[in-house]
C-alpha cells in the first residue's frame, strides 16, 4: 500500500530520509535541512520531478536519520546511496571512491596508488581513469626511482636490483631531489619526465627500434593525459572551477574545468547514472570531488545547489568562497565550455557502453532460455496482401546488435499463399546457403509456425542442430518444443527486438516491391499500419470500398486493430 502523508511523523531537524518498498528495498535517499518540510513536498499536487508520483506509489514507508547538521546529512546521504544503490537516485557509475596518487609523510616518502590517502600525505587526484594513474606511477618509478608502498627500505630489496628504487639504501642524500622532481611532475610540470622520454624515444627510433619507440610514445601520451586530468592540490592557490553537465536518457556526465589566472589547467570527467534531476546529479559529483580537497575560490555551476551543499563547500574552503551561475562575460564562456566538454564525454561514454548493454541483453536472454550463449540470432518474418507480392526477410543479431550486412530478403517462388508454407520455403532456401548455424532461429508466429518449420527441418535432418522458437505478439509469448510457453519480460527483450526488427525490415521490402507495380496504398501512410494489418482489413471488409465507409466500431472488430489504430484509420480516410 502506498505511503500516506497523514501517517508520517517526521521531526523539523536536519537529516536523511529513505523511501522504502514493501520488500525492504531502498528506492530513494535524500537529505534535508528540515525533514518534515522536505518530505511533505513529495506529496504536492504539482511535483517538480516526474519520478516523484511513481516513487511515492511504490514506497510503503519513509524512514529517517537525524543528523547534527546539514553538512553531516550530505555526507551520510552519499554513504547510503553507495550502500543501497537506490533506483531513483543519480549516482556515479563507479560507486567506489576514485583513486589518488599520494606521497607518504615519511623521512623518505613513498609513492602510493590509493583510494584513501592518509592524513598528512600529499595527494593528487581523484583520477576517474584509474589505469592511467597506475601507469604514471610505474613511469615515475622507472624514471626517478622513487620508493613505492612495497619497498622495505633494506639492503637487498628486489626493487633496487631491478632499478625501480633509489631509496635510502642506495642514496639517502640524493633522495630528497627525487621526491622534489616527482612532486613537480604531479603538480603539472611534467617537462623533465617528458623530455627524458622523448630523448629515449629518439634514441630508439635512430636505432631502428620502432616498436620500442612506439611504446615510449604511448608512455608520453599517458603522462600528458593523466596530468591534464588531475587538479592541482589544495596546497596551491586556485582561481576557478567551472562545472558542466550533459545527459542522454539515463546516462549523464559532469565535467569540471580547472582554471588558474584565466588559463585552463585541465579537466576531470565523472560519468554517472542520471535520474532526471540536474541538481542531484551535480551535487552527487561535487560531494565526491571535494570530499578530500579544498574547493577553489570561485565555483561556476549550471544551476543552484541548495543551501546545505553551499554551506558544506564553504566549510571545506575555510576562506573566501563564491558560487556563481554566470549569464554573460568570460566566466559564462568558461561555464559553457564545461557543458560542451560534458556533452562530448556523455556521447563517448554512451557509445562505449552501448555494446556492453547489448551483450548483457544477449546474456540475459541466454540465461532465461538456459542456453550457453545467444550471440547469434536469426529471425524470419513474411508479408503479403491478398497473395500479391509475397515476400520474406531475415535479420541477424550478433552479440545483441543488428548486423545489417547479414540481412536478407526473399521473394516467394512457389504458389504458396499462406504464411506457414511461404516461411517454410524461404527458410529452406536459407538453409542451403548457411555455413554457420545460429544459437537460435526465431520465427514471427505462434506454435503452429514452430511445428511447421520443425517438421521441415526434420526432413533435412537438422531438427537437433540448432534450437527454434516462435514469438507470438499476444502477450509476447515464446513457444519452443518440449517447453512450456514463456511470457517474455525484461530478460527476454532481445527476442522482442529481433522480432520487431524483422517485421520492420520485411514490411519495408514489401512496400518497395509493390511500389514498382502500383501506387502506394494510402493506408500505408498511417504510422504503425503494416502489410499484415492492411491484409487483415481487406479480408474483413472484402476490399478498399468497405474500409472507406467503415465506422470506428466496425474497424475495431478487425483482428489486430485496436481502438487507437481504428481512430487513426478513420481520421486518415475521413480527413
> Each residue of 442-451: pLDDT tens digit?
999 889 999 9
Binning pLDDT at 50, 70 and 90, where does residue 238 land?
very low
Task: Determine which helix (DSSP H) or strand (DSSP E) holds 307, and give its type and residue range.
Answer: helix 307-317
pLDDT recorded at residue 443:
93
Residue 360 has pLDDT above 50, yes or no: yes
Cβ atoms of residues 146 and 106 within 8 Å: no
* pLDDT value at residue 427: 92
Looking at every residue in the chain, the average pLDDT score rounds to: 80
- Place 98 in a pLDDT band, splitting at 50, 70 and 90: low
3-state secondary structure of 274: coil
Task: State the CATH class of domain 521-574.
Answer: mainly alpha
Question: Could you give the C-alpha distances from 225 to 228, 230, 233, 268, 274, in angstroms and in order?
Answer: 5, 9, 17, 11, 26
pLDDT at residue 316 is higher than 90: no
Q: Which of 13-27, 34-48, 237-251 has the lowest mean pLDDT?
A: 237-251
Q: What is the reported pTM?
A: 0.42
Q: Is 520 helix (H, G, I), strand (E, B) or coil?
A: coil
CA 343-344-349 angle, to 5 degrees, is 100
Torsion of CA 332, 333, 336, 337, to 10 degrees: -140
- Is pLDDT of 164 > 50? yes
90 vs 478, more confident: 478
Residue range 498-515: mean pLDDT, rounded: 85
CATH, range 5-89: 3.40.1440.10
pLDDT in tens, 26-46: 889 888 888 888 888 888 877
Q: Is the pLDDT score of 296 beyond 50?
A: yes
Taking the C-alpha atoms of residue 393 and residue 428, their distance in angstroms, rounded to an integer, is: 13
For residue 129, what pLDDT is reported?
64
Contact 18, 62 (CB under 8 A): yes
Select from 39, 223, 231, 27 the least CA-distant residue to 125: 231
pLDDT confidence of residue 96: 56
Q: Provide the pLDDT for residue 426.
A: 92
Mean pLDDT of 286-295: 82
Highest-scoring range by mean pLDDT, 94-108, 119-133, 157-171, 292-306: 292-306
Among 557, 549, 554, 556, which Cα is nearest to 574's?
A: 549
270 contacts 254 by C-beta, under 8 angstroms: yes
Least reliable range by pLDDT among 106-120, 208-222, 239-253, 311-325: 208-222
At 441 the pLDDT is 94
pLDDT in tens, 101-160: 888 888 788 888 887 777 778 877 666 666 767 777 777 777 777 777 666 555 556 666
The number of beta carbons lying within 10 Å of the beta carbon of residue 446 is: 16
Are 127 and 99 in contact by the 8 Å Cβ rule? The answer is yes
With bands split at pLDDT 50, 70 and 90, how would you rate the model's confidence at 229? very low
What integer pLDDT is reported at residue 390 of this predicted model? 84
pLDDT (tens digit, 9 = 90+) per residue, 272-288? 888 778 888 888 888 88
Instruction: Give the residue carrying C-alpha cell 567551472.
Output: 242
**Domain coordinates in residue numbering, the chain:** 5-89, 100-229, 241-260+267-275+297-349, 376-513, 521-574
Are 393 and 429 in contact by the 8 Å Cβ rule? The answer is no
Map 337-405 to HEC letters. HHHHHHHHHHHHHHHHHHHHHHHHHHHHHHHHHCCCCCCEEEEEEEEEECCEEEEEEEEEEECCEECHH
Q: Is the pLDDT score of 377 beyond 90?
A: yes
Regarding the domain with residue range 376-513, which homologous superfamily does it belong to in the CATH classification? Answer: UvrC, RNAse H endonuclease domain (3.30.420.340)
Residue from 527, 532, 570 nearest 550 by CA:
570
Amino acid at each position: 500500500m502506498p505511503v500516506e502523508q497523514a501517517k508520517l511523523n517526521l521531526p523539523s531537524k536536519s537529516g536523511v530520509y529513505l523511501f522504502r518498498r514493501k520488500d525492504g528495498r531502498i528506492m530513494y535517499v535524500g537529505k534535508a535541512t528540515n525533514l518534515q518540510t522536505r518530505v511533505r513536498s513529495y506529496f504536492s499536487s504539482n511535483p517538480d520531478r516526474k519520478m516523484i508520483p511513481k516513487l511515492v506509489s511504490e514506497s510503503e514507508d519513509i524512514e529517517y536519520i537525524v543528523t547534527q547538521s546539514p553538512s553531516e546529512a550530505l555526507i551520510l546521504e552519499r554513504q547510503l546511496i553507495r550502500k543501497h544503490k537506490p533506483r531513483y537516485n543519480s549516482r556515479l557509475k563507479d560507486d567506489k571512491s576514485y583513486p589518488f596518487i599520494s606521497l607518504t609523510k615519511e623521512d623518505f616518502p613513498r609513492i602510493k596508488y590509493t583510494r584513501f590517502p592518509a592524513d598528512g600525505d600529499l595527494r593528487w587526484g581523484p583520477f576517474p581513469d584509474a589505469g592511467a594513474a597506475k601507469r604514471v606511477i610505474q613511469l615515475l618509478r622507472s624514471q626517478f626511482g622513487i620508493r613505492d608502498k612495497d619497498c622495505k627500505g633494506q639492503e637487498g630489496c628486489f626493487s633496487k636490483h631491478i632499478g625501480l628504487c633509489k631509496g635510502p639504501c642506495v642514496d639517502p642524500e640524493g633522495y630528497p631531489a627525487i621526491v622534489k622532481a616527482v612532486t613537480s611532475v604531479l603538480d603539472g610540470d611534467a617537462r623533465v619526465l617528458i623530455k627524458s622520454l622523448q630523448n629515449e624515444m629518439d634514441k630508439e627510433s635512430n636505432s631502428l627500434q620502432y616498436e620500442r619507440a612506439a611504446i615510449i610514445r604511448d608512455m608520453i601520451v599517458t603522462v600528458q593525459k593523466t596530468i591534464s586530468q588531475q587538479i592541482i592540490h589544495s596546497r596551491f592557490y586556485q582561481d576557478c572551477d567551472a562545472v558542466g553537465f550533459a545527459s542522454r536518457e539515463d546516462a549523464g556526465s559532469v565535467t569540471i574545468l580547472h582554471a588558474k589566472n584565466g588559463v585552463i589547467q585541465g579537466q576531470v570527467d565523472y560519468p554517472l547514472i542520471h535520474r532526471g534531476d540536474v541538481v542531484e546529479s551535480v551535487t552527487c559529483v561535487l560531494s565526491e570531488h571535494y570530499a578530500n580537497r579544498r574547493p577553489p575560490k570561485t565555483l561556476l555551476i549550471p544551476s543552484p545547489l541548495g543551501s546545505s551543499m553551499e554551506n558544506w563547500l564553504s566549510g571545506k574552503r575555510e576562506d573566501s568562497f563564491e558560487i556563481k551561475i554566470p549569464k554573460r562575460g568570460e566566466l559564462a564562456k568558461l561555464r559553457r565550455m564545461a557543458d560542451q566538454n560534458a556533452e562530448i564525454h556523455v556521447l563517448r561514454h554512451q557509445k562505449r557502453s552501448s555494446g556492453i548493454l547489448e551483450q548483457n541483453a544477449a546474456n540475459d536472454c541466454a540465461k532465461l532460455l538456459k542456453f550457453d550463449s545467444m550471440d547469434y540470432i536469426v529471425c524470419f518474418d513474411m508479408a503479403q496482401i491478398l497473395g500479391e507480392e509475397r515476400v520474406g526477410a531475415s535479420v541477424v543479431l550478433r552479440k545483441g546488435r543488428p548486423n545489417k550486412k547479414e540481412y536478407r530478403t526473399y521473394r516467394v517462388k512457389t504458389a504458396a499463399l499462406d504464411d506457414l508454407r511461404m516461411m517454410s520455403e524461404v527458410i529452406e532456401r536459407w538453409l542451403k546457403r548457411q555455413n554457420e548455424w545460429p544459437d537460435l532461429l526465431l520465427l514471427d508466429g505462434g506454435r503452429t509456425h514452430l511445428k511447421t518449420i520443425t517438421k521441415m527441418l526434420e526432413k533435412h535432418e537438422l531438427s537437433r542442430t540448432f534450437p527454434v522458437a516462435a514469438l507470438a505478439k499476444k502477450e509476447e509469448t515464446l513457444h519452443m518444443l518440449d517447453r512450456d510457453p514463456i511470457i517474455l519480460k525484461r530478460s527476454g527483450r532481445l527476442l522482442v527486438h529481433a522480432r520487431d526488427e524483422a517485421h520492420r525490415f520485411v514490411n519495408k521490402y514489401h512496400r518497395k516491391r509493390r511500389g514498382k507495380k502500383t501506387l502506394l496504398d494510402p493506408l500505408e501512410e498511417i504510422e504503425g499500419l503494416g502489410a499484415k494489418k492492411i491484409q487483415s482489413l481487406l479480408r474483413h471488409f472484402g476490399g478498399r470500398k468497405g474500409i472507406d465507409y467503415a465506422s470506428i466500431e466496425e474497424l475495431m472488430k478487425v483482428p489486430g486493430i485496436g481502438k487507437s489504430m481504428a481512430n487513426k484509420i478513420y481520421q486518415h480516410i475521413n480527413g
